[in-house]
A and B are shown apart, each in its own frame.
Chain A
C-alpha cells in the first residue's frame, strides 16, 4: 500500500489488512519529502519502531542534486531506532535489489521466517550500519 503521508484515512480502517512493515521514503533531492516523513512519524504507533520501520533514501546517485543533509537522515534513523537504506530508483539493477531487500525484511516482519523476529533483525541491521 502506498500513501503520500500519514495518518491513513480512517474511513478504510476496517478494510485494511495488518501492517507488517512501514518504509518511509525520503528523496534526497527534496527537502519537502524529509519534512513530510518527519511529520508522518508522529502518527506511527510506538510498537512499530521495534523493527517494523525503515527509512529508504532515494536519488542518491546524483550528488549535484542534493537538497537534504545526509547527517539529518542518519540522526532520524538513530532517533527512531530504525535502519536507513540507500538506493537509486533510476537504475534498474539497484531498484530490483532494493525491492528484494525490502521483500525479505517484510517476510521477517510478518513472521514468515522461523527463528528471526523483526526486533532481532532490526537490531542486526542497525549494528552492522554502525560498523
Chain B
C-alpha cells in the first residue's frame, strides 16, 4: 500500500547515494534521537580537534540532526527509517538560513522480514544505509555508530547478476513519459587498456522486448531475465561482433533508477522508490548473512 508521503521522501530522488549493508544495531531507540544527535556532534567536534578535520573552513561548526522517517518503510513490521544530516554553519552566525547541508545518511528497512524476524529483542534491524556527501563524513558517522551500537558497515557492491535483474525489472515498469533510454555499461578489463562499452536502447523497444519475455505480470523468473539479456547480447553481437556476455556488466540506467556495481544508486521516480528500496534491502540482508 502506498501510504508514503512523496514530499517526505523526495529528498532521496535524483541524488547519488552510496550503498552499505549494516548489521543490526544494539540498543538503538527511536526515543533518544536528539541525544544521539548531540553525542554524534560532540564526536565530530572531537575528531576535528584531533586534526581529522573534514572541511578547510576553521570557523565552521557541524550541526547534526537525527530524525525518524516513519513513511520510509515497507510494512508495519519494518523499523522506521532514520535520517542523519550534517550541516555546516558559521560559528558566528546562528541564523538557520545560513546552514548548508553537506552530508546525509539514511538507515532503512523495506520489507526486511527475513532478517527482522530472526534477530533477538535488543537489536534494531535497519540493514540498508544510503549516504550522500563526502566520504570523510561517512567514515566519521560510521565509526560513531559502530562504537555506539556495536554494528558494522560494509560497502554493498552489486554483482552483474543482480544488475541484470534490475535491468529487466525496471525496464518492465510502466512510466508516463519514456524519455530516458535504457543504458547498460560493460567493462572489459582483460585488455591492456580497459574498455567501457555503453549500450543504449530506446526505452520503448526495451519495454516491448521485456513484455514479450515476461509470462506472468508481477512475477519475474531468472529464466526470463536470462532470455531478456541474451536477446540484447545477440542483437549487439549481430551489429558489432562483440560478445557482451564475456564482459562485466557494471552499470544499469533506466527511467526508474540507475545502479552501479560499486554500490551506487540514483532514484528517479518517486512512484517506484519503495520497490527499488525493497530490492536493495534484500541485497543488503543477503550481504549480511
Contact A33 B157 (CB under 8 A): no
Q: Which residues of A contact B159 (CB under 8 A)?
A: 63-67
Are A33 and B222 also in contact (CB < 8 A) when A64-B261, A66-B160 are? no
Q: Chain B nearest CB: distance from A62 CB in Å?
A: 9
Residue of A nearest to B229 (CB): A31
Contact B245 A30 (CB under 8 A): yes
Contact B245 A29 (CB under 8 A): no
Q: Which residues of A contact B222 (CB under 8 A)?
A: 69, 71
Q: Which residues of A contact B164 (CB under 8 A)?
A: 67
Q: Which residues of A contact B248 (CB under 8 A)?
A: 29, 65, 67
Chain A interface helix/strand/loop/mixed: helix
Q: Which residues of A contact B58 (CB under 8 A)?
A: none
Q: Which residues of B contact A63 (CB under 8 A)?
A: 159
Q: Count residues on chain A whose CB falls below 8 Å from chain B CBs.
A: 14
Q: Chain B nearest CB: distance from A11 CB in Å?
A: 25
Are A32 and B243 also in contact (CB < 8 A) when A67-B248, A67-B249 are? yes
Q: Chain A nearest CB: distance from B163 CB in Å?
A: 9
Contact A69 B161 (CB under 8 A): yes
B191 at the interface (CB under 8 A from A): no
Contact B160 A67 (CB under 8 A): yes
Which of B157, B229, B243 lies in contact with A64, CB distance below 8 A? Answer: B157
A68 at the interface (CB under 8 A from B): yes
B31 at the interface (CB under 8 A from A): no
A14 at the interface (CB under 8 A from B): no
CA distance A130 to B210 in the complex (A): 36
Contact A30 B246 (CB under 8 A): yes
A35 at the interface (CB under 8 A from B): yes
Are A32 and B245 also in contact (CB < 8 A) when A64-B261, A69-B222 are? yes
Q: Which residues of A contact B233 (CB under 8 A)?
A: 31
Using a CB–CB distance below 8 Å, which chain A residues touch chain B?
29-33, 35, 63-69, 71
18 contacts between A and B (CB under 8 A): A30-B245, A30-B246, A30-B247, A31-B229, A32-B245, A33-B246, A64-B261, A65-B159, A66-B159, A66-B161, A67-B160, A67-B161, A67-B164, A67-B248, A68-B161, A69-B161, A69-B226, A71-B222
Using a CB–CB distance below 8 Å, which chain B residues touch chain A?
157-161, 164, 222, 226, 229, 233, 243, 245-249, 261
